[in-house]
Amino acid sequence: MKGVYHVTCHECTFEGLYERRGVAADERGEHERDEGHRVSLLEIERPEPTTGSGPQTV
Ligand SMILES: [Zn+2]
């Protein structure tokens, strides 16, 4: 199972899933700076390995 990083803004609809922690942290910091919003970064586990070509947010 592979961990992913979930970035979620508490004050608007901004959110994203990232495989790299550095990228997730950058996106989080950028949004916080640009919007002045409170954004959380959570490491989560994928419920299941993806089997096909589903939509992927990077
Ligand atoms: Zn926001």
Q: pLDDT tens for residues 1-58?
A: 578 999 999 999 999 999 999 999 999 999 999 999 999 999 998 766 656 565 666 5
For ligand 1, the distance from its centroid to the CA atom of residue 25, given in whole angstroms, is 14
Supply the pLDDT for residue 51. Answer: 60
> For residues 3 and 18, what is the distance between their CA atoms, to the nearest angstrom?
9
CA of 48 to the centre of ligand 1 (A): 29
Q: How far apart are CA 45 and CA 30, in angstroms?
A: 24
Using the mean position of ligand 1's atoms as its centre, give its distance from the Cα of residue 55 in Å: 23
Ligand 1 centroid to 35 CA: how many Å?
Answer: 6
pTM higher than 0.75, yes or no? no
Looking at residue 54, its pLDDT comes to: 58
Quote the ligand 1 centre to 51 CA distance (angstroms): 32
Amino acid at 51: T
